[in-house]
Amino acid sequence: MSYDYPRPNLILSRCLELKACRYNGHVIRDQVVAALLPYINIIAVCPEEEIGLGTPRDPIRIVRDGQGYKLIQPATGSDITERMEQFANCYVSDLKDLDGAILKSRSPSCGIRDTKIFPKAEESTASGRGAGLFARQVRQQFPNFPIADEGRLASAAWREHFLTAIFTLARFHAETVADDISSLIEFQSRHKLLFMTYNQTRTRRLGRIVANQGRLPAQEVHDAYAVELPLIFARRPRPAAHINTQMHAFGFFSGKLTQAEKNHFMKLMNKYRSGLITAGVVNNLLGSWIVRLSEEYLAQQIYLQPFPDKLSRLPDSGRRRS
């Protein structure tokens, strides 16, 4: 079982592994991002450098301003909200065929969820947390796309989810053709087990789009599918959904396995159920049986290997089910 994996187009905060452009002149070393670089098309950006703040620079912070937010540099008193919003808006509007983003956590520009928000520029204590101003614009213009920060990607379970989503969107862009519905039918059929694991209602919705009972032009069908597809990855599947799919796949082999192999599978399932391993570990075992026992239908299914195998062997921070 070996697939070619198209490279996802990902926005990447430039200070992650690429350039020493943080306010203090440092670069962030991150094992997961480094491992991912050979597999992605990088759209590198440092919003603070792009708006001319220079490196090193005095730190900036988000300050609450009525219902909105301002981006302030306390040391100089500069309000750079408008510069950042204009840059972010133009930059993100120009992006095509985006498959996701990896942004630096806790940054007033790039943070996606945990950036400190201050009640006043001169306050030393934050009054809340939220997204940075550049990240807000990415979310607004690509509301349903996979976005992660390096902190979340340290968890193997989150990483599996994020990688599954970005590589599926990349496959969609690479393998389907706007004026050929048969390419969509093929795509839907190879992702059936994966989609059913994620969300059965949305899988059926995608199926209805592909079935095209309204006899719409192929381009319209393709566009509708492109809008619906990212929504299936809105939530990580529950472990019970993975277990259902894995038991279904196991059923294809059960008559061909030794008792010891069946016992080993059940032990792994129990470990997964208890949160000791990720779904990918069980899927690797199923994948090895596909190769040994030549199971054609499963070999076509993306579920068991939705992203390159090397990316499933990275360390885990242990926050599996949080």
Rg (CA), the chain: 22
Going along 9-83, which residue ranges are E strands? 9-13, 41-45, 61-65, 68-73, 78-79
For ligand SF4, which is the closer residue by CB, 48 or 295? 48
Residue 172's alpha-carbon distances to 36, 95, 99, 226, in angstroms, are: 19, 17, 10, 8
Q: Is 15 in the site for ligand SF4 (CB under 6 A)?
A: yes
Q: Is 109 in the site for ligand SF4 (CB under 6 A)?
A: yes
Residue 313 C-beta: closest distance to ligand SF4, Å: 27
Q: Is 22 in the site for ligand SF4 (CB under 6 A)?
A: yes
Q: Is 48 in the site for ligand SF4 (CB under 6 A)?
A: yes
Q: Which of 17, 39, 47, 137 binds ligand SF4 (CB under 6 A)?
A: 47
Q: Is 110 in the site for ligand SF4 (CB under 6 A)?
A: yes
280 contacts 194 by C-beta, under 8 angstroms: no
- Which window, 40-48, 83-91, 117-125, 159-167, contacts ligand SF4 (CB under 6 A)? 40-48
Helix (H) or strand (E) holding 58: none
In SS3 terms, 267-308 reads as HHHHHHHCCCCCHHHHHHHHHHHHHHHCCHHHHHCHHHCCCC
* Spatial separation of the C-alpha atoms in residues 172 and 195, rounded to whole Å: 13
Residue 111 C-beta: closest distance to ligand SF4, Å: 8
For ligand SF4, which is the closer residue by CB, 104 or 191? 104
Q: Is 13 in the site for ligand SF4 (CB under 6 A)?
A: yes
Q: Which of 5, 11, 14, 197 binds ligand SF4 (CB under 6 A)?
A: 14
Residue 67 C-beta: closest distance to ligand SF4, Å: 24
Q: Residue 74: helix, strand or coil by DSSP? A: coil
Number of residues that bind ligand SF4 (CB under 6 A): 12
Binding-site ranges for ligand SF4 (CB under 6 A): 13-15, 21-22, 46-48, 104, 107, 109-110
